[in-house]
Amino acid sequence: MLVTPYATLALFAPSVYALLRFSCSQLVVERLDPLVNPGQTGSPHLHQIIGGNAFNVSMDPNAAPSDTATCTTCTFAEDFSNYWTAVMFFKAKNGTFKRVPIKGNVGFEASSGGMTVYYTPTISNTAKASVTAFKKGFRMIIGNPTYRTEAQAKQFRQLTYTCLQNANTRTGETLAFPTKPCPAGIMANVRFPTCWDGVNLDSPDHMSHVAYPSSGTFETNGPCPSTHPVKVPQLFYEVIWDTTKFNDKSLWPTDGSQPFVWSFGDATGYGNHGDYVFGWKGDALQRAMDSNCNINCPTLKTQTIPTGNKCAQQQKVVEDIDGWLTELPGGMPVS
């Protein structure tokens, strides 16, 4: 079990810290991955994507999403970034799979199928928040979909699950899928590293251009390593999977295991990962970081959640994702 002070602070004391927190509704759910499988119409596994509608099969790092997008699902209207994760499925006793829907977070209940996104400069009460915002063309991934053991998952900090007893539960994070039914759903938490090499906007594994603090943690204001000296905001996704209609224990496997699997075939939860393509307009993110913004951020343009809900894309890889499926989309095996 991990207990992260950040989650507690995020909930109870947001006004003390600069902590940009907002909602982005679902843009599309489909098998595309312009980071790992650019140009491939039909990536190996299914994703749920939020953010600007410049999301595409390929995304040229030299083209700013804020120039090509015409709308965004995020409440900060200058954020045309894309954020995505895998999709959770319930595996029935008869072997079929049903997609688990996403629901809006506390305060963002009107959000249709989206996530909560945070950019946090620091959570230290005493340290002056000073971070360099991501630049045009920046992208990164955290987590590894092939991982299936706790030892592997521990190579990443803070890719976790919260078994929601109610909508406000923020303690008891685990690296594996919760083993018991969660009364208010399962929150997947994806926190990215906070140190950048200052040079590369991306790297072959989409990870090695960023790093964790060399000692301590982001939460304890640990220093960045000399290889990755530039402190960037902590990007953090909270995704609330509404597992409640699958909570009846009679639907669960009789061997005592839990029934949820990721779209990449992971029934352990250790392969939790998230993807990011920066797409803020101009210097909007840096401005927000410099002005100690929270949910309310006067320096940024905002739009309502219902307006964000209207920004959506049609599936380019057209396939059934909502029936009782005999296999995971793309034929991804459970392993």
Ligand X SMILES: *[C@@H]1O[C@H](CO)[C@@H](O)[C@H](O)[C@H]1NC(C)=O
SS3 5: helix
40 near ligand X, rule: CB under 6 A: no
Closest distance to ligand X from the beta carbon of 230 (Å)? 30
Do the bridges between strand 47-51 and strand 230-231 make them parallel or antiparallel, or are there none, so unpaired? Answer: unpaired
Q: Which of 56/132 has CB closer to ligand X?
A: 56
- The number of C-alpha atoms within 13 Å of 16 and in the hemisphere containing its C-beta is 13
CA–CA gap between residue 154 and residue 162 (Å, rounded): 16
- Shortest spacing between CB 279 and ligand X, in angstroms: 12
Least Å from the CB of residue 223 to ligand X:
40
Total residues interacting with ligand X, rule: CB under 6 A: 9
If the CB atoms of residues 283 and 327 are measured against ligand X, the closer one turns out to be 327
Can you spell out the DSSP letters for 180-230?
Answer: S--TT-EEEEEE---EE-SS-S--TTSSTTEE--SSS-TTTTPPPPTTS-E
Cβ atoms of residues 271 and 264 within 8 Å: yes
Tokens encoding 73? 């699902």
Q: Pick from 54, 131, 133, 184 the residue near ligand X by CB under 6 A.
A: 54
For the bound state, the minimum distance from the C-beta of residue 58 to ligand X, rounded and expressed in Å, comes to 7
- Residue 333 CB, shortest distance to ligand X, in Å, is 19
- C-beta of 62: minimal distance to ligand X in Å? 14
Q: Closest CB to ligand X among 54 and 207?
A: 54
* Rg value, the chain, Cα: 19
Element (H, E) at 151: helix 150-153
56 makes contact with ligand X (CB under 6 A): yes
Task: Considering only residues 296 through 335, tell me which ones interact with ligand X, judged by CB under 6 A.
Answer: 324
Residue 318 beta carbon to ligand X: minimum distance, rounded to whole angstroms: 15
140 in contact with ligand X (CB under 6 A): no
**CB of residue 133 to ligand X, shortest distance in Å:** 24
Q: Which is nearer to ligand X, 18 or 54 (CB)?
A: 54
Residue 214, both tokens: 């060399």
Q: Are 297 and 284 in contact (CB under 8 A)?
A: no
Locus of tokens 């991501």: 134
Residues 84-103 that bind ligand X (CB under 6 A): 92, 94, 96
Q: Considering beta carbons, is residue 92 or 317 the nearer one to ligand X? A: 92
User: How far apart are the C-alpha atoms of 92 and 217, rounded to whole Å?
Assistant: 39
The residue among 10 and 59 lying less far from ligand X, judged by its C-beta, is 59
Give the residue with the Cβ less far from ligand X, 95 or 223. Answer: 95
Closest CB to ligand X among 176 and 312? 312
Q: Which stretch binds ligand X (CB under 6 A): 48-56, 75-83, 105-113, 287-295?
A: 48-56
Query: Could you tell me if 209 and 196 are in contact, meaning their C-beta atoms sit under 8 angstroms apart?
Result: yes
Distance CA 55, CA 76 (A): 17
Token pair 């090499």 is found at 197
Residues in touch with ligand X (CB under 6 A)? 53-54, 56-57, 68, 92, 94, 96, 324
